[in-house]
């Protein structure tokens, strides 16, 4: 059976990080890196700040050249239930108070939102959509327009598996990404083993 060379990336098994070391801190750090460098497209000239705890409702922010602020928050949670919605709500309201020029709020989760509503249960996607409308309304009450953006596993994995992030995949998940350099080394090893023929 051929070996599968796709990286084994499971956010639940991310390498613990910080003091004290935790997977939650690791996800905050990695998602912050990826939000800055690939999961979100930023205007040229954006200046980034990364915050420790307490973070004022955001892990970090990008100050755009026009003075607008895009802030982001990471939640190491594997469902978007009422408790998770409450955590995001508290963070968003703090960020709204902390950042008077906030125009975009990015929320990262290590999951993609299930969208399978049933007769007896609303999906996480439906819950998110309703909460997003509430958060925008809360901003509007303060005379502000704030775009809310969900960044899930799909966006994070897309960024993380780009060749330029191969070192990050290895560090956080002990996973190899097939970069051109990796492939060139394998070819060189094969040629060296075969030798002159």
Which domains are seen in the chain, by residue range? 12-160 (3.40.1350)
Residues 6+ away with beta carbon under 8 Å from 89: 131, 134, 135
pTM of the predicted protein model: 0.86
Cis peptide leading into residue 152 (ω within 30°): no
Pick from 134, 166, 147: which is nearest to 40 by CA? 147
Model pLDDT, residue 190:
62
What is the phi/psi pair of residue 163, to 5°?
-50, -35
Q: Are 26 and 17 in contact (CB under 8 A)?
A: yes
Per-residue pLDDT 10s for the chain (197 aa) are 444 445 678 999 999 999 999 999 999 999 999 999 989 999 999 999 999 988 999 999 999 999 999 999 999 999 999 999 999 999 999 999 999 999 999 999 999 999 999 999 999 999 999 999 999 999 999 999 999 999 999 999 999 989 888 889 889 998 765 555 655 565 666 666 766 66
Model pLDDT, residue 38:
87
Q: Are 85 and 77 in contact (CB under 8 A)?
A: no
- In the sheet that holds 102-108, the strands lie side by side as 47-50, 60-63, 69-74, 102-108, 147-151
Q: Is 119 exposed, middle or buried (0-12, 13-18, 19+ CB in 10 A)?
A: exposed
Q: Between vectors from CA 153 to CA 151 and to CA 155, what angle results, nearest 5°? A: 55
Structure tokens at 31: 């998602």
Question: Element (H or E) spanning 180, and its range?
Answer: helix 180-194
């Amino acid at each position: 059976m051929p070996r599968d060379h796709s990286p084994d990336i499971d956010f639940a098994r991310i390498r613990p990080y910080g003091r004290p070391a935790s997977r939650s801190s690791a996800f905050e750090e990695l998602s912050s890196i990826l939000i800055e460098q690939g999961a979100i497209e930023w205007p040229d000239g954006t200046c980034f700040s990364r915050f420790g705890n307490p973070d004022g409702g955001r892990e970090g922010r990008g100050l755009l050249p026009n003075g607008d602020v895009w802030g982001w928050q990471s939640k190491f949670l594997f469902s978007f239930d009422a408790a998770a919605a409450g955590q995001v709500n508290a963070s968003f309201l703090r960020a709204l108070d902390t950042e008077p020029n906030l125009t975009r709020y990015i929320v990262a989760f290590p999951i993609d939102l299930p969208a399978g509503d049933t007769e007896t249960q609303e999906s996480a996607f439906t819950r998110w959509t309703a909460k997003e409308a509430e958060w925008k309304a809360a901003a509007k009450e303060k005379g502000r327009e704030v775009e809310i953006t969900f960044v899930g596993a799909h966006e994070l994995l897309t960024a993380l598996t780009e060749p330029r992030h191969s070192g990050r995949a290895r560090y956080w998940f002990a996973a190899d990404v097939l970069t051109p350099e990796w492939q060139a080394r394998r070819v060189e090893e094969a040629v060296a083993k075969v030798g002159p023929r």
